[in-house]
Structure 1
Amino acid sequence: MPICLRSNTGLSNIAIAAVLAGTLTGCVVGPDYKTPDPAMPTHWGSKAGSKPSQAPQLSQWWKQLKDPTLDALIEEAIASNLDVATAKAKIREARATYREQKGALLPTASGTASAARTRTSAAEGGTTDATFSTLYDGGFDASWELDLFGGNKRAAEAAKYGVDAADEQLRDTMLTLIGDVASYYVQAREYQALRDLARRTAASQRQSAALTHEEYKAGSATGVDTAKADALANSTEADIPTYEISYSEAVHRLGVLLGKPPTTLEDKLKGGGPIPSPKMNVAVGIPADILISRPDVRLAERQLAQYTAKISQAEANRYPSISLTGDISSSAASIGDLAKKSSIGWTFGPTLTVPIFQGGQLKAAVDVAKAERDQYFIAYQSAVLSAMEDVENAIVSLTQERLRYGKLVSSSSSYRRASDLSHTMNKAGVVDFLDVLDAERSLYSAEENAIQSRASIATDYIALNKALGGGWDGQVDVSKPVVIDTDTAPHLAKAK
């Protein structure tokens, strides 16, 4: 935008500056940000042909699992998790950066003061006389960049988007945290159930093995029968340490997620508990909902806005800039005379800076900013697609796992009947003992699969709510720093 200043207008420098400030306050260069409007399908792929689903109920979704222990763990994790604490600090950093950038839009002022002692010597008649004088000086300096082309305004705009992005980063961190706490809690209950099953089954198999040894002594069983009975009991008992390891790892991970030592929850969870069971129907809404509900998608959109503003910031550096500068100074031989008998001088006027040749650096900086913006635009598109993929996978997994669980429960029930009948028929001499062992092995495997499937249903339910964007919607205090500094006023340095 060309600027013409004519000497015959009769305006003073102050008036010229005022006119410029008034007419160019809203002037900016570079692209204005527009929120992307990606094309979204009208329904989830797995819901094709069905009536539109209701909006998902994402607020405190984990409470649908009806497990008070899990509810308490999630609240504790939100309060003390270290990743959440880091995200809070990033919000404080972003807010401070925004305040810093807004300050560039305002004038700056500073005061100065000085005192100088002068000695003057004069040689007369072979002697040297000296005179001393003291000069005190006080002043006031001020400057204001008019921001003709919106460079500082765009910088503040980018910083504001940065605050929004930091807020979404915190929400995304809490969403991930809640999902992780719920998932590891389900794993802990799953491995407890599998361990208890292995213990019960191994105890029953040991009883069968003991009876087989008695029958072997009586001549009604073979050595093969006793060997296989012992092998089956040993194999089942070997599963117990494996489940103990997996259980301990899940509990230790939960402790760390709560920002505490790994063994913190061992006493609290060792009593056992049921595997959480979600309600049958889960509303999933429509794909467009994730643009609003997913914090990672909103984060990508805010980052795109932030880096779009940075293009304009770099573009503004290629245009002229005008600053208003002025100062008032006063000098006197004594401090008391500064305000009365002092000499006072002042200067005021605009300073025009025009970039003429920078070796292509300014244009290159704009190209860099545009390339960064393109990367964040692609990242936003990727976030949307990944979010849709997460939801689609979770819907299919939850639906199919429920069907699988129903079949496994029926299978387990049938194998239990088969095991009971095999024992009865073996005592009657109708079937071989190897049939009994085979029935016990099949029953143990079926019950094991049913427990794992029930845990998978809970895990898929958690994954679906995460994919839909369900997270923490309560109040979060981000203002309190983790480290409280003391003795920050001027003080003597302490020896190290």
Structure 2
Amino acid sequence: MQSFERGSIAAGRLIVPISTFVLLAGCIVGPDYRTPILPTPAHWSGQNPTKTALPAQLSKWWQRLRDPELNALVEEAVAGNLEVASAKAKIREAHASYRQSAATLFPSADGSLSANRGTTAAITSGSGGDSSGEFRSGFDATWELDLFGANHRSVEAARYGLDAAEEELRSRLLTLIGDVASNYAQARGYQARIQLARRSVASQKQTVAITRTRAKAGLVTAAEVAKAKAQASSTEAEVPTLEASYAETVHRLAVLTGRSPDALNDRLKRGAPIPAPRLPVPTGIPADILLARPDVRMAERQYAQYTARIGQAEAARYPSVGLTGNIDTSALKLGDLGKNSTIGLSFGPKLSVPLFNAGKLQAAVDVAKAERDQHFIAYKASVLTALQDVENASVSLTQERIRNGKLASSAKSARDAARLVRILYQSGAASLLDVLDAERSLDTAEDTLLQSRVSITTDYIALNKALGGGWDGAIDSAKPEGVDAKTRPQPASKATQ
């Protein structure tokens, strides 16, 4: 009875510090993250501050270009692009890291089973000796109480890291859709310019034919025929360059969709108009950038992640306490385990206190703080870059529209002038030089007008990208890209082969 009372007293003495440790487990060191409030302008530079700004229409913005082929290419790129697939794999990695970190908050247990067989020989008597065996099984458990929140901060950092990985995927999708739309608009622009160049060549060859006829009649010299032929050949020489640029753009589009470069050659061979956006584009207010741009949100999540890591480093400077326990049983026969066997039980806390480390742990805290500061600066820089992108794209779109109006007027005047000069030349009232100058001016004006139409579309695309317009549909990131073969256990020699 006396021994039982002593055991109870000892157990009570053990339970008191353990319960104290458990109560202290809610103490978490390190800074708690708070979303920073960054100043942004009240309105964009081109907005009227007295009018309420309409919110940006970012959902499926590319559909407002009214091109079914472009819509299909965007869908295919989202499903097949390799950079998007890589970002999905990073999300799966971040999910696994989060589960790893969360597992540290719970106890862990391991089981063991061993068998020993031995022989004892009598050397002096020459006998064969006696054989004996022992079977042993055990169960070990450990649990770190996480007194100062090192594991909790690790889970917190992993959760922020998962958020950042998801925002990186959104950022990749935003860039991808913008690249697909821009390359598609440029491809249609090259097709239109190729058609224009061929029409110009046909028109200039007509001028060559007229000049030959006039030369036969003695009205012009052979030199003028040569000049007309030279201009037609010079215009015709532009076609291969445009064809090469068109092919490169189509190859780039195919790769963006995750296919081989020649996959879209036949599909896009048939020409289509340059996609024209619906204007104007509502841009909302600058503060919307903080919520709309995935790269800004990713930078903010990374800042939060590295803030949590300060707590991890800080907790390493404090004592750590864990609970360990094991149950051990042994018997002479395997069937006797748990029946006719000896059983041992042990349980108790384990305390570890950092005493001297020459400032290593404090230096780790300083490193974590410096890394946190770098990511805070990166977050602020991403906001400024986003604001700059919107301002630049908005100005470019506005000014290009003004320029396009002037170019359209110039092209109309050039067409009228070329038509009138050609009529005058046939009647002998104008020189060949006047015709060649008018044709050259017309080619330049119409080609520049086509390039301006492409620029309006690409500026529209850039503005939507700058505002944060991307893919807002569902994304399945759980499906792995690689398919592993022969995942079941197999002989080592066969696996090596």
Q: Same fold (TM over 0.5)?
A: yes
Q: Structure 2 vs 1, CA of residues 51 and 152 (structure 1 numbering), >3 Å: closer, same or farther?
A: same
Q: Is the 8 A contact 1:52 1:286 kept in 2?
A: no
Offset, 1:54: 0.5
Structure 2 CA distance for aligned equivalents of residues 486 and 459 of structure 1: 45
Identity %: 57
- Report what 2:17 is aligned to: 16
Structure 2 CA distance for aligned equivalents of residues 210 and 492 of structure 1: 83
Query: How does the TM-score come out when normalised to structure 1?
Result: 0.96
Is residue 484 of structure 2 the alignment partner of residue 485 of structure 1?
yes
- Report what 1:5 is aligned to: none
- Report what 2:99 is aligned to: 99
Offset, 1:128: 2.9
Query: Structure 1, residues 277-319: CA drift from partner, whole Å, max 9, x if none?
Result: 0012110000000100000000000000001111110111110
Q: Is the 8 A contact 1:43 1:52 kept in 2?
A: no
Structure 2 CA distance for aligned equivalents of residues 244 and 14 of structure 1: 83
Offset, 1:15: 4.6
Q: Secondary structure at the match of 1:435?
A: helix
Offset, 1:437: 1.1
- Report how many residues are paired: 488
Structure 1 CA distance for aligned equivalents of residues 223 and 378 of structure 2: 64
Letter in 2 for 1:92: R
Q: Structure 2 vs 1, CA of residues 407 and 68 (structure 1 numbering), >3 Å: closer, same or farther?
A: same
Offset, 1:389: 0.4
Letter in 1 for 2:475: V
Query: Structure 1, residues 363-384: CA drift from partner, whole Å, max 9, x if none?
Result: 1111111111111011001100
Q: Secondary structure at the match of 1:355?
A: coil
Q: Secondary structure at the match of 2:349?
A: strand
What is the CA RMSD across the aligned residues, in angstroms? 1.5
Structure 2 CA distance for aligned equivalents of residues 284 and 91 of structure 1: 31
Offset, 1:108: 0.5
Q: Is the 8 A contact 2:210 2:426 kept in 1?
A: no
- Report what 2:373 is aligned to: 374
- Report what 2:262 is aligned to: 263
Letter in 1 for 2:361: L
Offset, 1:89: 0.2
- Report what 1:60 is aligned to: 60
Is residue 378 of structure 2 the alignment partner of residue 402 of structure 1?
no
Q: Secondary structure at the match of 2:139?
A: strand
Q: Secondary structure at the match of 1:44?
A: coil
Structure 2 CA distance for aligned equivalents of residues 413 and 127 of structure 1: 121
Q: Is the 8 A contact 2:323 2:350 kept in 1?
A: yes
Letter in 2 for 1:183: S
Q: Secondary structure at the match of 2:46?
A: helix
Letter in 1 for 2:404: Y
Alignment of 1:131-210 (within 5 A): 131-210=130-209
Structure 2 CA distance for aligned equivalents of residues 127 and 344 of structure 1: 37
Q: Is the 8 A contact 1:56 1:284 kept in 2?
A: yes
Alignment of 1:181-260 (within 5 A): 181-260=180-259
- Report what 1:274 is aligned to: 273
Q: Is the 8 A contact 2:119 2:132 kept in 1?
A: yes
Is residue 315 of structure 2 the alignment partner of residue 313 of structure 1?
no
Structure 2 CA distance for aligned equivalents of residues 245 and 252 of structure 1: 11
Q: Is the 8 A contact 1:290 1:387 kept in 2?
A: yes
Q: Is the 8 A contact 1:275 1:455 kept in 2?
A: yes
Q: Is the 8 A contact 2:214 2:220 kept in 1?
A: yes
- Report what 1:352 is aligned to: 351
Structure 2 CA distance for aligned equivalents of residues 55 and 253 of structure 1: 33
Structure 2 CA distance for aligned equivalents of residues 114 and 46 of structure 1: 78
Letter in 2 for 1:81: N
Offset, 1:273: 0.4
Letter in 1 for 2:287: A
Structure 2 CA distance for aligned equivalents of residues 427 and 205 of structure 1: 14
- Report what 1:51 is aligned to: 51
- Report what 1:326 is aligned to: 325
- Report what 2:5 is aligned to: none
Structure 1 CA distance for aligned equivalents of residues 38 and 208 of structure 2: 66
Q: Secondary structure at the match of 2:142?
A: strand
Is residue 284 of structure 2 the alignment partner of residue 285 of structure 1?
yes
Name which of structure 1's ranges 213-222 and 461-470 shifts more when overlaid on structure 2.
Answer: 213-222
Structure 2 CA distance for aligned equivalents of residues 86 and 47 of structure 1: 39
Structure 1 CA distance for aligned equivalents of residues 31 and 422 of structure 2: 80
- Report what 2:450 is aligned to: 451
- Report what 1:34 is aligned to: 34
Letter in 1 for 2:90: K
Q: Is the 8 A contact 2:142 2:322 kept in 1?
A: yes
| Structure 1 unaligned blocks of 5 or more | 1-7
Letter in 2 for 1:46: G
- Report what 2:121 is aligned to: 121
Q: Is the 8 A contact 1:322 1:350 kept in 2?
A: yes
Structure 1 CA distance for aligned equivalents of residues 486 and 27 of structure 2: 45
Structure 2 CA distance for aligned equivalents of residues 38 and 81 of structure 1: 34
Q: Structure 2 vs 1, CA of residues 10 and 130 (structure 1 numbering), >3 Å: closer, same or farther?
A: closer
Offset, 1:463: 0.2
Structure 1 CA distance for aligned equivalents of residues 342 and 446 of structure 2: 98
Point out 4+ residue stretches in structure 1 off by more than 6 angstroms. none
Name which of structure 1's ranges 169-178 and 41-50 shifts more when overlaid on structure 2.
Answer: 41-50
Structure 2 CA distance for aligned equivalents of residues 316 and 236 of structure 1: 74
Structure 2 CA distance for aligned equivalents of residues 82 and 447 of structure 1: 38
Q: Secondary structure at the match of 2:121?
A: strand
Q: Secondary structure at the match of 2:284?
A: coil
Structure 1 CA distance for aligned equivalents of residues 43 and 344 of structure 2: 74
Q: Secondary structure at the match of 1:109?
A: strand
Q: Is the 8 A contact 2:21 2:321 kept in 1?
A: no
Query: How does the TM-score come out when normalised to structure 2?
Result: 0.96
Q: Structure 2 vs 1, CA of residues 109 and 458 (structure 1 numbering), >3 Å: closer, same or farther?
A: same
Name which of structure 1's ranges 131-140 and 45-54 shifts more when overlaid on structure 2.
Answer: 45-54
Q: Is the 8 A contact 2:174 2:465 kept in 1?
A: yes
Q: Is the 8 A contact 1:14 1:349 kept in 2?
A: no
Offset, 1:17: 1.7
Letter in 2 for 1:13: L
Query: Structure 1, residues 418-471: CA drift from partner, whole Å, max 9, x if none?
Result: 111111222232222211111111011100010000000000000000000000
| Structure 2 unaligned blocks of 5 or more | 1-8
